Amino acid sequence: MRRRSNRAAYDRATIAAILDEALFCHVGFSVENQPYVIPTIHARDGDHLILHGAAASRMLRIGSEGVPLCVTVTLLDGLVLARSAFHHSMNYRSVVILGTAREIVEREARIAAMRTLVEHVAPGRWAEVRPPSDEELVATRILTLPIAEASAKVRSGPPVDAEADYALGVWAGELPLRLEPARPIRDPRLDAAIQLPEYLANYRRP
């Protein structure tokens, strides 16, 4: 990382923590010199990132053919309000992964990958739901991307103003932001006897 290299982190623990907290990522790729960026759900499985979607997805098809991918994840932690317009910023944690993905084709490995994805979104959910059918597996394409060429970038703390601006009579500081779950909404067709599971009643991101 060249710009703002003081905010860079390359250790696996920092990268893994950001990937694990984030619920979705953006996948960048190029087709005939035309760039695309697609949002999708991801999950980390050790040293690999799992991506999935419809078997007809162009992004997943291109990725399975060995076209290089760029995956980005960003967590917004707050707004940074400075005394000057120029020094306004945001506190954030982000990860960029570059690499070539491989399609997961073995049936048991595909089911394991789907379990990882479901558990990433809602830990404890997989044990309750119906597993994917053979037809659903056929309709799904799953890629695994090594987390080898990856970097994190983190900004935290108060604004950094020009020294002369600290004397200005302008409020400055941070406005923290966080993702918090609201009260779950029951499916209108849900059996009234089925109670809200504990993992949803106490849902939190890592």
Kindly state whether residue 55 falls inside one of the protein's structural domains. yes
DSSP state of 6: G
Q: Residue 44 is part of a domain; what is its CATH number?
A: 2.30.110.10
Kindly state whether residue 16 falls inside one of the protein's structural domains. yes
- Please give the tally of structural domains in the chain: 1
Tens of pLDDT along 153-199?
999 999 999 999 999 999 999 999 999 999 999 999 999 999 999 99
**Residue 74: which domain range?**
5-159+188-201
Kindly state whether residue 149 falls inside one of the protein's structural domains. yes
Question: What's the pTM?
Answer: 0.92
CB 172 within 8 A of CB 161: yes
CA-CA distance, 84 to 161, in Å (whole number)? 7
CA-CA distance, 68 to 49, in Å (whole number)? 14
Kindly state whether residue 178 falls inside one of the protein's structural domains. no
Cβ neighbours of residue 203 closer than 8 Å, sequence gap 6 or more? 122, 181
Kindly state whether residue 43 falls inside one of the protein's structural domains. yes
Kindly state whether residue 84 falls inside one of the protein's structural domains. yes
User: For every one of its 206 residues, what pLDDT tens digit does the chain have, with 9 covering 90 and above?
Assistant: 566 667 788 899 999 999 999 999 999 999 999 999 999 999 999 999 999 999 999 999 999 999 999 999 999 999 999 999 999 999 999 999 999 999 999 999 999 999 999 999 999 999 999 999 999 999 999 999 999 999 999 999 999 999 999 999 999 999 999 999 999 999 999 999 999 999 999 999 88
